[in-house]
Every structure is written in C-alpha cells, then in structure tokens.
Amino acid sequence: MENSTPEGPIVDLTPDEVRPIDEAVPPADAATAEAAAVESPAEQTPPPTATVRPPGVRITFMGNTYDLAAYGALLSGIIVLASCLTCNSIYYCLPLAPIVLGLIGVMSANHAVDARRTRTWSWIGIASGLFILLLVLAGIVLYIAFIVLMIYLGEVD
C-alpha cells in the first residue's frame, strides 16, 4: 500500500538509503535516468553497504525507533514530574491524553507512512481513554450515590 502526499509518494528509507542534502539526487523520470546512465555509467554502482531486503518487504519503523524511545522517555519523565508537583492529582487527567492524541492521529492519518495502521491505533487509543474516563466518572457517581443513600437511611449524622 503506497500513500501519497501533495509532494509525491511516501517511501520507506533505510539508514543506508539516506543521503546528505549536498549529494546529487538521482533524476525522477525514466528518460532522464537512462540519459544519466549513458553519460556516466561508472557512477551507477550501488553503495557497498546497501541493505538487501526480500522483494515486497517494507520497513516502516527502521531508523525511527530510537526517536520514539526518546520521546517515550520524555513523556514519562514529564508525567512523573507533574505527578510529584501536583501530589498525584495529574493522574485524573491522564484519560484525556489518549483521547486528544487519538483524535490528532485520526485527523492526520493521511500523512502517515501507513494510514490504516495509524487510524487503527488512534481509534484503539480513543476507545481505551473513553473507557477509563467512563470508569472514573462511574466511580464518582457511585461514591456520591452511596453518600446520598447513607444520608437518606440516617446512617450519617
């Protein structure tokens, strides 16, 4: 499945396929590529460290996992710091995070490498956040109902 943006198709690059900006970019169309091959056949040899992948295999997370791990460390550090500064009351707001981030993911899934996966994960995040939010609200309602019942029965003075 190939996604595209207004700038062109989204392709998966391995670290071996990434070049610095100052290197020459190969021509995009076939006619220009053939003309370049005729002019300079010696430059068409593949790099010696090229990754060999079986046909049809897409690597979508390669080169990004360390960024995601660092981002996870940043977010967990912020959550721990915020919980210390607010005496753990920040945890009541945590169900809102997957709902908000899931909505952002659903709305921007067209720009993702794998739009279907992004939408699926976003909807799972939204559903889990709503589930926990509903459990917290149900607990609050049941607690208030229990106190009202105790007052009604005369158990509380």
Give the per-residue pLDDT at 148: 93
Does 125 lie in the same domain as 136? yes
Does 40 lie in the same domain as 74? no
Does 105 lie in the same domain as 78? no
Per residue in 54-92, pLDDT tens? 566 565 555 566 777 887 898 889 988 988 999 888 888
Does 52 lie in the same domain as 20? yes
Angstrom distance (rounded) from CA 86 to CA 130: 23
Angstrom distance (rounded) from CA 119 to CA 141: 32
Find the domain containing 36 and state its range.
12-57
Does 157 lie in the same domain as 106? yes
Residue 115 lies in a domain: yes
**What is the pTM for the complete model shown?**
0.53
Does 100 lie in the same domain as 154? yes
3-state secondary structure of 93: helix
Per residue in 26-57, pLDDT tens? 555 555 555 555 555 555 555 555 555 556 65
Residue 69 lies in a domain: yes
Give the per-residue pLDDT at 85: 92
Residue 48 lies in a domain: yes
Per residue in 81-122, pLDDT tens? 988 999 888 888 888 989 999 999 999 888 877 788 889 999
Does 83 lie in the same domain as 44? no
φ, ψ for residue 91, nearest 5 deg: -65, -20
- Percent above pLDDT 70 for the chain: 57
Angstrom distance (rounded) from CA 77 to CA 83: 10
